[in-house]
Every structure is written in C-alpha cells, then in structure tokens.
Structure 1
Amino acid sequence: MSRGKALEKLELNTVQESILRSYLHKRTASKHHLQRINIILLAHQGVSNMKIAEVLSTTQNTVRKWRTRWLTGYEELCAYEQAKTRSTPKLLSKMLGMLSDDSRSGAPMRISLSEKENLVTLACKKPKDFNIPFTHWNRDLLASFAMENGIVKKISPSYVSRILKKTGHTSS
C-alpha cells in the first residue's frame, strides 16, 4: 500500500551541515532549535516525516512545518552565504532565524515599561508617605492611587498583582 510520493532529501551543503551539527553540542542551544535542527538533519539524510516524528517524539505536522520552512528559505540562505564572507556566526544566525517561530500578533501593551517601573516604585513606599491612612498597600488601593495620580491611565487590581509578582515585589 502506497503512502504517497517519497519526499526528496533536503538540500544542505557541507558547510551548513557542519555548522548545524556543531550547534547541537552547545550547552546554550534552545530545545526548540535542537529539535528543529535534528528534523532538518534527518530530512537531509532522506528519513521520512513519519520516522522523524517517531524518533524525535513529535508530530508529523511539526516535521512537515519545519521541513517546508527550510525549503522555502533555502535559496535565500544560499544567496546570503554567497554574498557574505563565510562567517560561521552570521550563517548560523541566519539558519537559526529560519528555524525560529514567526512573531505572533497580539494586543499591544497598554502599560509601558516605565509605567510598570513607577508602579513598583510606588509599591515600595508606604501609603502614609502619601497621607493615606493605611499601613500597607493592597492591590485595590495601589491600582486606584496609581490611576488617580496619573502613574497609569487604567489598571486592574489583578494586573497590579501580576506586575508585582513578576518583579518579585510585594506591596509594603
């Protein structure tokens, strides 16, 4: 029984293969890059998507995605390699870029980094410093005071808690 047409081996020149193989041994390499590089190297050897998925404990869709991504960007990679001096770090960076996630869309940040910093600074002070008759901030009080005093335009008490938790601060 046929499982469709056989896939071609992925193109990869010896320099590219050598750079990717050496990157596999770096301690600083991210897990997702390691998996994707292994997909490319196995596909270069002619291993089927099904077998690659089995060996790397992933799905065939994942293998197909990264195989397609490599095929789509390969001509540009080769042109880049020819145009630039053969700088290994630059070529590695270009290949890792091909094997990185696309940027994701999402809602824009409503509170800037400086507003978050100002909120944390405020939380480090005592409410009494602002003539508020409390000994400690709570998230509701902190949120309302920050909005009333123009530190932020709008913020929920739960988001105040998240900001403080991420920075390792608690209200004083």
Structure 2
Amino acid sequence: MNRGRPKTPLVLTTEERDILTGHVRRGKTPQRLALRARIVLLCADGQDNKAVAKRLGVTEETVGKWRSRFLRRRLQGLADEPRSGAPCKSPRNETTWT
C-alpha cells in the first residue's frame, strides 16, 4: 500500500525523452546534469522516488527535488539556478537542454 501524498505523474514527450536520453549517453555532458536526466527518465518510467534514489545512490530528497523542478519547468528546470554572490566565470555554467 502506497503511503504519503500521491505524486503527479511524470509524462515525457517523445522529444523530451530523446533529449534526456542523449544527455545520459553523451560523454561530454556534465555528470550533475546526466544524473538529473537519469532521475527524470526513471521517474517517467513509473518508478517511485525511493526506488530511483536507491538505484542511483542518491537521497529521496534529491529525487523529489529534480522530479518537482522538472514538472514545474520541464527541461529548463534541470539547469542550475542562479546563486547568490559573484557570478561564476567558468564556461561550464552555460547549460542548454536543446
């Protein structure tokens, strides 16, 4: 029996699934973004947060965070949000999901 709040189903379009799968497979994708893509793909396949967390070796809170951000902002929700302080000068901070 499931406990807790029911989760909003995470349904991907074909285009979103292709983009996320490409980022997981591409060797040059930063690991933090590849992990976020893996989380979303597993959630879209119907796995619950606990199972995804165990499979990927992260916390349930991490899975919940990226699942909810994806549901709110779709692919753009997986990019890093701006942080306080001086902006990073690294070119790695420029992330696009297209």
TM range (shorter): 0.7 to 0.9
Question: What is the CA distance between 1:52 and its match in structure 2?
Answer: 0.5
Equivalent position of 1:11 in the other structure: 11
CA–CA distance in 2 between the matches of 1:2 and 1:42? Answer: 18
TM-score (norm 2): 0.78
Matched, 1:98 2:77: yes
**Secondary structure at 1:10 match in 2:** coil
Cα RMSD, aligned residues only: 1.9
Equivalent position of 1:40 in the other structure: 40
CA–CA distance in 2 between the matches of 1:7 and 1:104? Answer: 28
Question: What is the CA distance between 1:51 and its match in structure 2?
Answer: 0.5
Equivalent position of 1:57 in the other structure: 57
> Sequence identity of aligned pairs in percent?
33
Paired residues of 1:36 and 1:99 also in contact (CA < 8 A)? yes
For the pair shown, which has the larger CA radius of gyration, 1 or 2?
1
Aligned length, in residue pairs: 87
Amino acid at match of 2:79: S
- The one-character-per-residue Cα deviations of 1:31-74 (angstroms, maximum 9, x if unpaired) are 10111001100110110000000001000111000001011113
Indicate the structure whose relative CO is greater, using CA pairs within 8 Å and at least 6 residues apart. 2
Amino acid at match of 2:22: S
Paired residues of 2:24 and 2:35 also in contact (CA < 8 A)? no
Paired residues of 1:39 and 1:66 also in contact (CA < 8 A)? yes
Paired residues of 1:69 and 1:99 also in contact (CA < 8 A)? yes
Task: Structure 1: give runs of 5+ residues left out of the alignment.
Answer: 75-94, 110-172
Amino acid at match of 2:50: M
Against the structure 1 CA distance between its residues 99 and 2, is the aligned structure 2 distance closer, same or farther, given a 3 Å change threshold?
A: closer
CA–CA distance in 1 between the matches of 2:49 and 2:59? Answer: 9
Q: Give the stretch that moved more between structures: 3-12 or 21-30.
A: 3-12
Question: What is the CA distance between 1:2 and its match in structure 2?
Answer: 4.4
Paired residues of 1:39 and 1:52 also in contact (CA < 8 A)? yes
Equivalent position of 1:24 in the other structure: 24
